[in-house]
Amino acid sequence: MLFNTIDFVIFFILILTGISIYKNKKFQHFFLLGASYFFFFYSSNYLVSLLLVSSLLDFYLGQAIWNSKSSQRKKSLLVISLVGNLGLLGFFKYANFSIEQFNSIGSSLGWPNLEFLEIILPIGISFYTFQTLSYTIDIYRGKLKPSDSLKEYALFVSFFPQLVAGPIVRASEFLPQLREKVENLSFHGNIRQIIIHNSNLKLGVTLMAFGFFKKMFIADNIAPLANYVLGGPLTHESFTIILGAIAFGIQIYSDFSGYSDIAIGAALILGFKLPINFNKPYFASSPSDFWRRWHISLSRWLRDYLYIPLGGNRISESRTYFNLATVMFLGGLWHGASWNFVVWGMLHGLYLAIHKMILDKVPFLKNHPIFKTKFGFIVSVLVTQYFVFLAWIAFRVKNFYELRYAMEKYIFLDFEYELTLRVIEQYRFELFIMILFFSLQFISYKQPNLPERISKYKLPFWGIFILFILLGIFFFYDGNPEDFIYFQF
């Protein structure tokens, strides 16, 4: 079920109606659990069974790990969780990719080709697999006590707003919200019972409106330019390739952060706080700063469950660089069964390693006064984003020959512009969106917590703002809902 459809609007209104009428906490949790499984079934049909299997596996393994007195048994149970979850993820996501690589190698050796499997990739499997893995790993580390309620744990895994494309939520962040009184949070009060307050309703609606605007006005309308250039880059000039890379960078950010805003806003209306997933990544001033701002929930997961266990930066400089490259290689592979995602991940691993190496080897740069000036900051941002948008080409272009051509054109400018001018003439509206996007990003950067500020407007002014956003979507929406890019992961 796509967020950007009337089906979801009706579905969400029915959910709000149900929890507003029946105030019993147990009923509300069962109601949300049933709604979440229906949401997944509506999107993936029988593959909802995988979600159920993953939930049951880690719920009982988590309890067994906690109750076990033997460290060896704890480790064995954790291995079962890892193998079970990663086995399902690997089979459904990478089986045909592995067969393709085997056939590619085997054809040169005269081996018979293997038949591809008829596999449908379950929507959201990469996200809920990481959620359930973090649960058992945290229990194994002694950082989390397992849930005594299968209902609560199943709701944590399947919670429909963030089920398909995150944010990746941890049990320690979500489960307490089902059973504890949370103080000092203005958007929800006592969440022993789900209560829809005016404050969290307005902020939630504001976030959802921002998300719909990002997806349906910006991402979907700039997609034709990105698709035209990076869908077949071989005939394009350097400046056209750069335009296409910027267009796709805007598209994927607006698409993915738009989903996250809708998910966080919907959860907030229901009385739950989900972690922030984006924080103006195109103002990042270094590769590490970018990953503190982009897909934050995945960055934290990779840091806590891969980078630190590998040794982080505690062993040696060379090991630190290796760990950064390894983590980003696996992060790229997590995105999809295709070598272009691996290239994208390895590029970011290279960026992180080189940045760390420069700071290690040239320490005076770390605190050089120029980087504390506005000029130094602007230069740092521009250099960082140059490489970020270069990597977006690898994320979008799957054919290696086309990818190499596009990246060469991006790096080694040919200074030709005749065809580029034609593209600019043909895609004037998309260029307007690019200018609008960066203007809005600048406003958002200069005005932190903009959605929260807007949600505090008096009702008439707040309503006019929301109406303005909806009208902007309505007049430039073609009526065909487009999938969110991260649905494929």
Residue 186: the pLDDT is: 37
Task: Extract the tokens encoding 384.
Answer: 């960082």
Query: Helices 374-396 and 400-411 meet at what angle, rounded to 10?
Result: 160
Q: What angle do CA 449, 455, 459 make, to 5 degrees?
A: 160
What are the backbone dihedrals phi and psi of residue 427, each rounded to the nearest 5 degrees, phi first? -115, 50
Rounded CA-CA distance 307/302 in Å is: 6
Q: What residues contact 174, with CB distance under 8 A and at least 6 apart?
A: 156, 159, 272
Set 236, 335, 348, 355: catalytic member: 335
Residue 199: the pLDDT is: 65
Residue 372: the pLDDT is: 78
CA 318, distance to chain mean position in Å, is 29
Residue 190: the pLDDT is: 39
Q: CA nearest 164: which of 84, 245, 262?
A: 262
Residue segments in the chain with a per-residue pLDDT below the cut of 70: 1, 180-199, 479, 481, 488-489
Query: Which burial class, exposed, middle or buried, applies to 440 when counting CB atoms under 10 A from its CB (0-12, 13-18, 19+)?
Result: middle
335 catalytic residue (yes or no) = yes
Q: CA nearest 413: which of 238, 242, 240?
A: 238
Structure confidence by residue, pLDDT tens digits, 427-474? 999 999 999 999 999 998 888 888 888 888 888 888 888 898 888 888
Residue 191: the pLDDT is: 40
Amino acid at 488: Q
Find out whether 127 and 166 touch, Cβ atoms under 8 Å: yes
Residue 252's H or E segment, with its range, is helix 238-269
CB atoms within 10 A of CB 27: 13
Query: Which burial class, exposed, middle or buried, applies to 207 when counting CB atoms under 10 A from its CB (0-12, 13-18, 19+)?
Result: buried
